């Protein structure tokens, strides 16, 4: 009969505490290639209301020093919520959607 | 009152690159709640659902706050356990920080599957905020009906054909059920009112006790509308009084948004493909029933606001 080695089971203290992922590592994943339309920012029509930022589901509106500073096209999925919510200046939108070129 | 310029200085606790649909309302709700909570240490527990599945696809995580998930039905129980452990550690002096606890659950994980654990956690008076992102069906698994699905709505298990005309039952009013738990703070909010949701989150986190916010979340996949209109649809639900925005603080009702003129429900039904069969002339009876339910509920709310604030 072959020698059977039975491995001693690990006690609960020897097991790793839990499986963990690095915080916010999803930022490394590109969801921008889902887009069929891209938002384009027109700074001269922007009143810096930040509605685009507060309504973006993908954290893809870049805000620097409390001012809108453009889009993160790596994460933007092109839903167009920002363009709809944008109040613009004198009826001119500061965010418009343009077809994504191939 | 919330200031967006001030909020934008806080750290972003939900990163981009998660795999929610483009134009998803759950992403908006999670971001706005985390914006409100980002000025203090916060721990998040998550029920199984769209938000949990798409923000934590292995080996990625979109959360920058301590985050916990174990199963569909026990998000509130898990969060209450974490809160109890925190209290014990604080009592023995091992933790000194003032930490807040938030649970996110979809309507499936809140109204149906997670209901008993939520009810228990609220009854045990844990200091935690439960946020339900309510998209009125099981969107993650293929749009099955839940007890939050409204009357007449299409779902894959409440189909539309020659005999069936969508869901045949009215939805459960979970907000009223939570009020019946006599907890210090219960509120309803909707995507499209960022100020309302952020203010309510801040208010709830400052209350020493269990709190609950039910947020209507338009779902571009299950509701069938143009994804750019997520916030517009949410506002339409409030303007037609289909989803009134109100809060109940220590039993006192306050309606936060009172539409100047109540829009007819057809305006809310029209842009959504889940209701498109209701606009046919033979289904006018269902629309009339929905309108009747809305009118009765709105009148009841106005009455409650008057009675409880005397």
Contact list in A for residue B194 (CB cut-off 8 A) is 51, 54-55
Q: Which of A23, A55, A59 sits opposite B61 (nearest CB)?
A: A23
Report the CATH number that the domain containing residue B174 is assigned in CATH. Answer: 3.40.50.970
Q: CA B98, B103, B104, B107: dihedral to nearest 10 degrees?
A: -150
Whether A1 shows a pLDDT value over 60: the answer reads no
User: pLDDT confidence of A14, banded at 50, 70, 90?
Assistant: confident
Residue of chain A whose Cα is closest to the Cα of B235: A85
* CA-based nearest residue to A62, from A73, A71, A52, A74: A71
Quote the DSSP letter at residue B271: T
Inter-chain touch A23–B26, beta carbons under 8 Å: no
- Enumerate chain B positions whose Cβ falls within 8 A of a Cβ in A: 4-9, 12, 14-28, 31-32, 35, 55-65, 194, 220, 226-232
| Count of structural domains within chain B | 1
The reported pLDDT for the residue numbered B310 is 87
Give dist(CA B19, CA A75) in Å, integer: 10
- DSSP string for residues in A63-86: EETTEEEEE-TTT-----HHHHH-
The reported pLDDT for the residue numbered B161 is 94
Contact list in B for residue A76 (CB cut-off 8 A) is 16
The reported pLDDT for the residue numbered B233 is 97
The reported pLDDT for the residue numbered A102 is 66
The reported pLDDT for the residue numbered B248 is 97
Spatial CB neighbours of B303, under 8 Å, sequence gap ≥ 6: none
Q: Which of A27, A72, A78 sits opposite B22 (nearest CB)?
A: A78
| pLDDT average, residue stretch A66-84 | 95
Size of interface A-B (CB pairs under 8 A): 126
Distances (CA, A) of B147 to A76, B78, B115, B139: 33, 23, 11, 13
Range with the poorest average pLDDT among A12-26, A54-68, B291-305? A12-26
Give dist(CA B185, CA B249) in Å, integer: 5
Distances (CA, A) of B9 to A60, A66, B6, B252: 16, 6, 6, 34
Mean pLDDT by 10 residues, chain B (310 residues): 88 94 96 95 96 89 93 95 97 95 96 96 97 96 96 96 94 96 97 96 96 97 95 97 97 96 95 96 96 97 95
How many angstroms separate the CA of residue A89 from the nearest CA in chain B?
A: 18
Spatial CB neighbours of B143, under 8 Å, sequence gap ≥ 6: B137, B155, B156, B221, B222
Q: Which of A54, A79, A84 sits opposite B232 (nearest CB)?
A: A84
Give dist(CA A79, CA A86) in Å, integer: 13
Supply the range of the domain harboring residue B76.
4-308
Inter-chain touch A57–B194, beta carbons under 8 Å: no
CA torsion sign for B83, B84, B86, B87 is: positive
In terms of C-beta density within 10 A (0-12 exposed, 13-18 middle, 19 or more buried), how is residue B187 classed? buried
The reported pLDDT for the residue numbered A32 is 92
The reported pLDDT for the residue numbered A20 is 66
Contact between residue A59 and residue B55 where contact means Cβ atoms under 8 Å apart:
no
Inter-chain touch A55–B231, beta carbons under 8 Å: yes
How many angstroms separate the CA of residue A11 from the nearest CA in chain B?
A: 22
Class of the A29-99 domain?
A: alpha beta
The model's pTM is: 0.93
Spatial CB neighbours of B90, under 8 Å, sequence gap ≥ 6: B96
| pLDDT average, residue stretch A53-61 | 96
Whether A9 shows a pLDDT value over 80: the answer reads no
């Amino acid at each position: 009969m072959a020698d059977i080695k039975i491995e001693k089971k690990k006690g609960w203290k020897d097991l790793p505490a839990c499986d963990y992922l690095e915080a916010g590592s999803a930022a490394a994943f590109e969801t921008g290639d889902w887009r069929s339309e891209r938002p384009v920012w027109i700074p001269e029509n922007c009143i810096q209301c930040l509605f685009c930022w507060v309504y973006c589901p993908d954290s893809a509106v870049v805000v620097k020093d409390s001012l809108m500073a453009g889009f993160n096209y790596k994460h933007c999925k092109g839903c167009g919520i920002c363009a709809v919510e944008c109040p613009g200046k004198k009826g001119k939108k500061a965010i418009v959607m343009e077809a994504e070129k191939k | 009152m919330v200031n967006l310029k001030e909020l934008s200085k806080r750290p972003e606790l939900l990163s981009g690159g998660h795999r929610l649909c483009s134009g998803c309302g759950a992403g908006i709700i999670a971001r706005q709640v985390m914006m409100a909570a980002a000025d203090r240490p916060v721990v998040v527990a998550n029920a199984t659902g769209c938000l949990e599945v798409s923000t934590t696809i292995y080996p990625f995580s979109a959360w920058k706050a301590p985050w916990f998930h174990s199963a569909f039905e026990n998000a509130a129980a898990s969060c209450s356990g974490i809160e109890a452990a925190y209290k014990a550690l604080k009592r023995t002096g091992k933790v000194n920080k003032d930490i807040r606890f938030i649970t996110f659950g979809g309507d499936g994980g809140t109204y149906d599957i997670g209901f008993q654990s939520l009810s228990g956690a609220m009854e045990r008076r844990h200091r935690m905020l439960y946020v339900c992102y309510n998209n009125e069906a099981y969107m993650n698994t293929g749009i099955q009906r839940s007890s939050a699905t409204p009357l007449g709505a299409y779902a894959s298990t409440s189909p539309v054909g020659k005999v069936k005309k969508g869901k045949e039952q009215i939805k459960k009013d979970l907000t009223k059920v939570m009020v019946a738990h006599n907890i210090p703070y219960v509120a309803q909010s909707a995507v499209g009112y960022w100020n309302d949701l952020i203010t309510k989150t801040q208010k709830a986190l400052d209350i020493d006790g269990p709190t609950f916010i039910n947020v209507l979340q338009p779902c571009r996949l299950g509701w069938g509308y143009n994804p750019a209109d997520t916030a517009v649809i949410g506002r339409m639900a409030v303007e037609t009084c289909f989803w009134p925005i109100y809060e109940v603080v220590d039993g006192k009702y306050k309606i936060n948004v009172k539409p100047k003129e109540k829009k007819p429900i057809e305006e809310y039904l029209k842009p959504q493909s889940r209701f498109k069969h209701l606009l046919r002339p033979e289904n006018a009876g269902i629309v009339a029933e929905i309108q009747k339910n809305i009118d009765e509920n709105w009148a009841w709310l106005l009455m409650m606001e008057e009675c409880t604030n005397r």
